[in-house]
């Protein structure tokens, strides 16, 4: 079975706007770059580069993906779910039978977290966030097992889609997958626990 990893990424200057009260624009750009770079390196420990797709509206991000040997797709849709569907269609066209979509703002992520997702036998596997409301990673096997439903309450939305489709559903809870950085308190904790990240 061929699984592909998809990273749908906002342009660096548009991400993490909820951190604007503690980071200026230049600092947010730098942080978003570090997030994507580290996530990509973790992904390379589990996936060959030709099975990693970066989708973005930012040409510099796409150029960096190409240099690293990954697939680079200019984003055509209007939101994250459209972008992931675009990436999934492209990956299936290149032989993918399952798709892992992954948030890029997971500074505690390790390769073993991805391996744990891939080892789960379910057809729809969600790695949820700390609040147990959202989706930080979604593994679909087969690739189009359910529609993408990222957004507020996405854990419940993905669960409902899996139930409606009769797909086996699992929730994975691992710190490396759950701990994202959305709010100033998350950033403060990251600085305290992993100063080397900065």
Average of per-residue pLDDT across 60-81: 92
- Domain boundaries, given as residue ranges, for the chain: 3-197
Q: Which residue has the higher pLDDT, 114 or 197?
A: 114
Q: Look at residue 197 in the predicted model and tell me its pLDDT.
A: 84
Please give the Cα distance from 161 to 51 (Å, whole number). Answer: 26
Q: Look at residue 1 in the predicted model and tell me its pLDDT.
A: 65
**pTM of the shown model:** 0.94
Q: Determine how many CB atoms are found less than 10 A away from the CB of residue 12.
A: 21
Q: Determine how many CB atoms are found less than 10 A away from the CB of residue 45.
A: 11
Check pLDDT > 80 for residue 166: yes
Q: Collect all residues with Cβ–Cβ distance below 8 Å to 166 and sequence separation of at least 6.
A: none
- Tens digits of residue pLDDT in 121-141: 999 999 999 999 999 999 999
Check pLDDT > 90 for residue 15: no
The domain defined by 3-197 folds into: Spore Coat Polysaccharide Biosynthesis Protein SpsA; Chain A (3.90.550)
Q: Look at residue 13 in the predicted model and tell me its pLDDT.
A: 87
């Amino acid at each position: 079975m061929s699984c592909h990893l998809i990273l749908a990424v906002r342009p660096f200057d548009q991400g993490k706007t909820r951190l604007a009260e503690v980071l200026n624009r230049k600092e947010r750009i730098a942080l978003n770059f570090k997030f994507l770079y580290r996530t990509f390196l973790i992904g390379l420990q589990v996936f060959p580069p030709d099975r990693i797709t970066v989708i973005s509206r930012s040409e510099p991000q796409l150029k960096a993906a190409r240099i690293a040997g990954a697939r680079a797709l200019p984003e055509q849709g209007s939101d994250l779910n459209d972008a992931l569907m675009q990436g999934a269609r492209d990956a299936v066209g290149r032989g993918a039978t399952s798709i892992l979509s992954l948030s890029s703002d997971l500074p505690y992520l390790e390769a073993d977290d991805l391996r744990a997702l891939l080892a789960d036998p379910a057809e729809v596997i969600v790695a949820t966030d700390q609040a147990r409301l959202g989706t930080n990673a979604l593994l679909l096997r087969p690739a189009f097992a359910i529609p993408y439903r990222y957004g507020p309450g996405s854990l419940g939305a993905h669960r409902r889609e899996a139930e409606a489709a009769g797909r086996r559903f699992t929730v994975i809870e691992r710190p490396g997958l759950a701990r994202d950085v959305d709010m100033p308190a998350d950033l403060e904790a990251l600085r305290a626990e992993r100063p080397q990240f900065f």
